[in-house]
């Protein structure tokens, strides 16, 4: 069955677990091969670490030009309106949290925030973030190395991302879902830490 619009995904995975693959430097320390048997949501260039995600999310328009084939190598792609392909979502702004993605989605200043709203909309019970560091490390900005566009994020974008996630954690705290951050170096404290090895036991 081919799903064509966001409403087709409402509560599709109710009660299940998913792993969201962010792009922080800590991702490079993980063996992601066990994820082959699990539901995954890849973000931006996560295909460099794990090419066979169940879903993928991309907001950055330039990535469609840089990596068209890699981005297409996923079951479903979620993106914003006016992108070349994918299931489009209306951007409602940066600050906020959407429980009804038919109305739109908020960026929260990061594709990881986009993916969190998607995972909750899909009904996942446990959501595990991998590589959600919000911290540069040893000269690198991402698991794949250095991106000059992100070198000042610790002073500019990361504080806004932390604030967005902290507010989101408060909004979803009474829902029947748990969000965990598996990054051992994370600067984000609003979601409980759990190791990748522990997460795989669920």
* pLDDT on residue 26: 92
Tell me whether residue 139 is exposed, middle or buried, using C-beta atoms within 10 angstroms of its C-beta: 0 to 12, 13 to 18, 19 or more: exposed
Could you tell me the domains of the chain? Answer: 6-199 (3.90.1480)
Distances (CA, A) of 40 to 62, 92, 124: 23, 25, 11
Reduced to 3 states, what is the DSSP secondary structure of residue 121? helix
What's the distance, Cα to Cα, between the start and end of the chain in Å? 28
Using one digit for the tens of pLDDT, what is the confidence trace for 6-61? 999 999 999 999 999 999 899 999 999 999 999 999 999 999 999 999 999 999 99
State CA 81 to chain mean position distance: 18
Query: How remote is the C-alpha of 201 from its chain's centroid?
Result: 21
pTM over 0.75: yes
């Amino acid at each position: 069955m081919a799903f064509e619009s966001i409403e087709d995904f409402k509560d599709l995975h109710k009660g299940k677990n998913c792993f969201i693959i962010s792009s922080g430097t800590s991702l490079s320390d993980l063996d992601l091969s066990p994820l082959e048997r699990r539901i995954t949501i890849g973000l931006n260039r996560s295909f460099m670490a794990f090419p066979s995600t169940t879903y993928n999310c991309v907001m950055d328009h330039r990535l469609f030009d840089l990596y068209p084939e890699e981005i297409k190598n996923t079951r479903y792609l979620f993106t914003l309106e006016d992108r070349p392909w994918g299931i489009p979502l209306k951007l409602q702004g940066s600050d906020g949290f959407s429980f009804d993605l038919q109305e739109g989605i908020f960026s929260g200043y990061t594709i990881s925030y986009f993916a969190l709203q998607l995972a909750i909309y899909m009904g996942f019970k446990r959501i595990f973030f991998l590589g959600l560091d919000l911290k540069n490390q040893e000269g690198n900005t991402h698991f794949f190395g250095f991106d000059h566009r992100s070198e000042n994020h610790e002073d500019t974008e990361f504080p806004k991302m932390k604030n967005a996630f902290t507010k989101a954690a408060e909004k979803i705290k009474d829902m029947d879902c748990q969000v965990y951050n598996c990054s051992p170096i994370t600067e984000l404290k609003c979601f409980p830490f759990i190791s990748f090895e522990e997460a795989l036991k669920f």
